[in-house]
A and B are shown apart, each in its own frame.
Chain A
């Protein structure tokens, strides 16, 4: 009998610590499926962030490295320079990539490092208890913006993907979402493209994934997906940016 479907090899057979309705489980799987499809599991080095996905290396079944909060792209830069033939990617949240790690992000992109970045945007700090992220929407209530983000004092949602797309060293930027099965399939294609780009030596590629955080949005998992579809995409439009 022909085998049509089986467990994703690059994912370990264990349950995750993520909250019900969290997008990280789906995003982890998309990364793992892409690596399996490209048959590069034994040639891959992933860099896990600090944040909810800090122990992503417990879920993926390939070589992985920790990075201090925000420093994933500095760590990735070095690993890729030491092993140019390996597939090296970072998996980072919005606080990690667009607040504390903005400097490392912009300069790795500007050097045109041949890396792939999976950027999870859930508009909030999850690990530390739902504080304002650089990508928190105007008016959005968080632990540190109890009255809603006030753009006069807390600034605007940071569109780092659009900023990065301006840099000549950046070759591919796409924003995708996890709010429906169709969107998940499109997200997978984007992850595959980011990895293929690196394998083909194209250069710096980034996929921003809009991902639900029901716990700190204080919505049900279903409401969270609806919130992405109806509210979040207005601030963060889906599609290819570069």
Chain B
């Protein structure tokens, strides 16, 4: 007998590219993106601007969210359909700002796994976090968040981080985030700074998204093939 009665639905929740470095948020106005032909003019005109300030810039368009702090740049979309346009925008941004100091980057995929029953939702928790080690340690142990770090399968410095969190409001959904993390400047491939961001996106954003999706699929498949959950007594 398998652990879950039905295969859950897995869908895109969010795709983002995040870089850590030294930024000047006030230049990241939507009109700058339009002027550099990274965004449509009409999108820049109609963008919902939260703030553009020397410490923080934040705006969104129909399909994209951009947020820049002094040490972090984030661009994200909620639909797979815009994945290639997200990568074009970030790649183009850092190609134009190639002297920006950037130390790390992450290409991130967030998937929402929706189970048909609450029992199946709990069963995933038991699968990820077996309950017998918690016997007599605490009562009713429950999974809130699990971070698992894995090695990269390529030569880049960095790692892959998988974060699993239930969505307690729904009692059916689990959010699984895969962070494809790169350290820039430390690998023998010499990918440094903004040039490194551009090179990594150019070479592998599409593959990174595909790998992340495959990771989530594999994890769920492993779960579905499990015979019996390890529940608390």
A and B bound?
A: no
Which residues does B use to contact A, with CB under 8 Å? none
Which residues does A use to contact B, with CB under 8 Å? none
